[in-house]
Structure formats: C-alpha cells, structure tokens
C-alpha cells in the first residue's frame, strides 16, 4: 500500500512539474513575441535607388548576414540628409564588420534619386535607399506614422538569423549617431560569437563579462 502511495505521489509531482514548465515556457514564448527584440523581420522585396539606378532589392538575399535597417521620415527634409551623410561616412566600417546597410523611407525610389541629385550631402551615398511606399515594412515593425504616412526615425540591427537584436526609436527632431549604431553592431557580433556579455560603454576589443 505504501509503495502504491509513493508511486502515486511521484507521478502527481512529475505531472505538476511538467505542467508548470509548460506554462512557464508558454509565458516566455508569448512575452518574447510581444517585444521587438528577438522578433523575426519580414525580409521582403522592395524598390530601391542604388548606384545611380532604380532597382529591386530582396532583403531575403541578405539573410545570413548582419543587416542595419535605418528608417527616416522623408526625403527633402532637414535632419535626414545629415543622418544619411554620416551613415555613409561609416559605411566602410559597417561592411568591414560584415553588415549590410539599408536606409528606408516611404518616398518612392524616383524621389530618392531626385533627392540625391539635389543635395550635396548625399552625393557619396553607397548603401541602397529602399522605398517602403505602401508602408508595409514600416507597419510590420511598428514605425509607421499613420497620420503623416511616413516612418519615424528608427534603427534595427538584424542578426544573421533574421532576428532583431537591437532597436532605437527617436523623435523626428533628433538626429542619430552612426558611430553608436556601429558600436552596438560590434557588441552584438561579439556576444553572438560567444565572447561573453558587453558591459556599458563597451567598444570593439574591450574586455567582456563572463557569466561564470
């Protein structure tokens, strides 16, 4: 009798632990799906202006690489060309780190072309300027302003698995720092390579934190 009670107790405990674990796992999965970090990015095909030509770019072709998605409100504005100019200045550093950079707005690729010809700050842009005319990608990432039909200032660092590992959102009046985006990229690469955790202010080559 005691043996039967013991076996029953063990079974009840095992079932309870399994249920708690399943519940915990479910809660974790739901929590992860409701945050931007860790979200899978829809790698869609988009119109673009690149290397002086109107073309089509499929982001899925870049899966397996690090990707920087740099959203900005609109062409022919004031802060945006200064941001794209600085991003272009850092372009070699991003590519040397193994990343592809894409700027994105809801302007058409033809407007991108006209803007680059019109603004001297943009004459040396080397990365593709994507057109999210319908706001498809902007909406999917929560950066589409329905009242203006434009994207807000936002940056996403996407890992080779197509998941967001870093994101930044900024008011339209505040320009971003390309050097800081590069620092975050380098940190994400270092962490993914298994080097440890990155402390505050970490820069490439700096000491990392081990969890042991």
Name, in order, each residue with C-beta under 8 angstroms of 93's C-beta and a sequence gap of 6 or more.
182
| Residues with active-site annotation | 80
Q: Quote the CA–CA distance of 127 and 136 in Å, as a whole number.
A: 21
Establish how many alpha carbons lie within 13 A of residue 184's alpha carbon, considering only the half-sphere containing its beta carbon. Answer: 17
Strand ranges (DSSP E) for 61-205? 66-71, 99-105, 129-131, 144-145, 150-151, 153-158, 164-170
Q: What is the 3-state secondary structure (H, E, C) of 33-98?
A: HCCCCCCECCCCEEEEEECCEEEEEEHHHHECEEEEEEECCCCCCCCHHHHHHHHHHCHHHHHHCC
């Amino acid at each position: 009798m005691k043996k039967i009670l013991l076996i029953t107790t063990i079974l009840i405990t095992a079932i309870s632990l399994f249920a708690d674990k399943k519940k915990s796992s479910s809660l974790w999965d739901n929590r992860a799906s409701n945050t931007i970090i860790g979200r899978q990015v829809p790698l869609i095909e988009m119109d673009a202006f690149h290397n002086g030509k109107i073309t089509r770019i499929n982001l899925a072709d870049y899966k397996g690489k690090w990707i920087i998605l740099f959203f900005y409100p609109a062409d022919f504005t004031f802060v945006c060309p200064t941001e794209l100019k600085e991003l272009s200045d850092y372009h070699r550093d991003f590519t040397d780190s193994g990343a592809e950079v894409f700027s994105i707005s809801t302007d058409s690729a033809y407007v991108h072309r006209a803007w680059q010809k019109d603004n001297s700050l943009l004459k040396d842009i080397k990365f593709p300027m994507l057109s999210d005319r319908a706001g498809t990608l902007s909406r999917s990432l929560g950066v589409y302003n329905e009242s203006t039909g434009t994207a807000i200032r936002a940056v996403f660092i996407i890992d080779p698995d197509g998941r967001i590992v870093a994101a930044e959102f900024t008011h339209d009046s505040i320009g971003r720092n390309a050097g800081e985006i590069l620092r975050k990229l380098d940190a994400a690469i270092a962490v993914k390579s298994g080097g440890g955790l990155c402390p505050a202010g970490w820069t490439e080559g700096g000491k990392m934190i081990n969890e042991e």
